[in-house]
Structure 1
Amino acid sequence: MTEYQAKSANYLSFEVTKDDKLIGKLTYKNWFKLNALIELADNSGYQIEPKGFWGTTIELKEREKTLLKFKMNWNGEIIVQTFFSGIEKDYIFKSRGIFRDSFILTDEKGTELLAVKPHLKWNLMNYEYQITASEIFETFSHKEILLLSSLHFANYYMSMMTAAVGV
């Protein structure tokens, strides 16, 4: 198992590290928007933006090329499709635990790839995350993009659940 940390300097940006080495950054344009930017340590950049009239499907793009898309289903799971190297793969991001206090990313067979545990920093009123990756996940060629996207999934999930409770 490999451990990653995602720390937020403010409520609009997160830095993901492994052994104090920067893996990448997730930056939101606005707290109430789903639009975000992912920048990896190698300076490659990706845009996350809602698609369609209702914006229920969110896409991750490299320029105009869609590499990943996701949406929440009625069960409260986030259904993820990736298109890396022209190959489509499906994943599910969902909450787990008695109090639904953490998240997991699984493949289509149900194999756990990532576990994401949020920690609220009360003094700063923002979240930090501990992310544990399986040995299988560590073999993925696009693991950094999927890792930072999973951080976005966790933020998206928590914002959707907060909105549902507030209604």
Structure 2
Amino acid sequence: MEIRCIDNKTFELLDSSGNLGYIIYDGLLSSKATILVGEDNYKIIPLGILSTSISVTKNGAEISTLEMNWKGNITILFENGQKFIVKATGSFRDKFVLEDEDQQQILLLNPDFNWITFNYNYSVLYDNKSQDLLLILLATYAANYYTAAMASVL
């Protein structure tokens, strides 16, 4: 499974069977985005002045929130109580791990920076294939969000 950046604001989730979903940012430097998975359409909207809290809605109803803490970890909390954490890992904090509440690794996002197009593609590694495509795309959004936040600090 992989995630490819198509045009600097669209990320496409692919596997051997084809396209599984998209993240489409509103603009080049925007944190607002839309996630498309099949017929489902999710809106991602940053909240507050510093945009450290992010709302994910489907048909106008909030289904999830994302929050970054001071350590740079991003918590994904669903309305049903499920909680996941995206953590930067590796020597240069350049890989991203998605963990559940029990700190069990669900997947690893391994970025590949393309200097020609100046964007990231990701390979998605997992032990057991996750069927929750929304969760994979939210983890990708969180990885992009973390990368943008750390780049703006420098």
Query: Aligning the two structures, in what range does the TM-score lie when normalised by the shorter sequence?
Result: over 0.9
Question: What is the aligned counterpart of 2:81 among 81, 88, 93?
Answer: 88
Amino-acid identity (%): 26
Question: What is the aligned counterpart of 1:27 among 21, 24, 27?
Answer: 24
| Residues 107 and 34 of structure 1, relative CA distance in 2, 3 Å threshold | same
Residue 161 (str. 1) matches residue 150 (str. 2)? yes
Structure 2 distance, partners of 1:33, 1:125, is: 17
| Matched positions, count | 154
Residue 5 (str. 1) matches residue 9 (str. 2)? no
> Please, which runs of 5 or more residues in structure 1 have no aligned partner?
none
Taking structure 1 as the reference length, what is the TM-score of the superposition? 0.87
**1:52 positional shift:** 3.4
Residue 103 (str. 1) matches residue 100 (str. 2)? no
**1:53 positional shift:** 4.4
Which residue identity is paired with 2:153? A
Offset from partner CA, 1:36-87 (integer Å, 9 cap, x none):
00111x221110001234432101110221111111101111122012xxx2
Aligned residue number for residue 128 of structure 1: 121
More helix by proportion, 1 or 2?
1
Structure 1 range deviating more: 49-58 or 29-38? 49-58
Aligned residue number for residue 110 of structure 2: 117
Aligned to 1:10, the other structure's residue is in SS state: coil
After TM superposition, where is structure 1 displaced by more than 6 Å over at least 4 residues in a row? none
Structure 1 distance, partners of 2:113, 2:125, is: 18
> Please, which runs of 5 or more residues in structure 2 have no aligned partner?
none
Question: What is the aligned counterpart of 1:152 among 131, 137, 141?
Answer: 141
Which residue identity is paired with 2:67? K
Aligned residue number for residue 72 of structure 2: 76
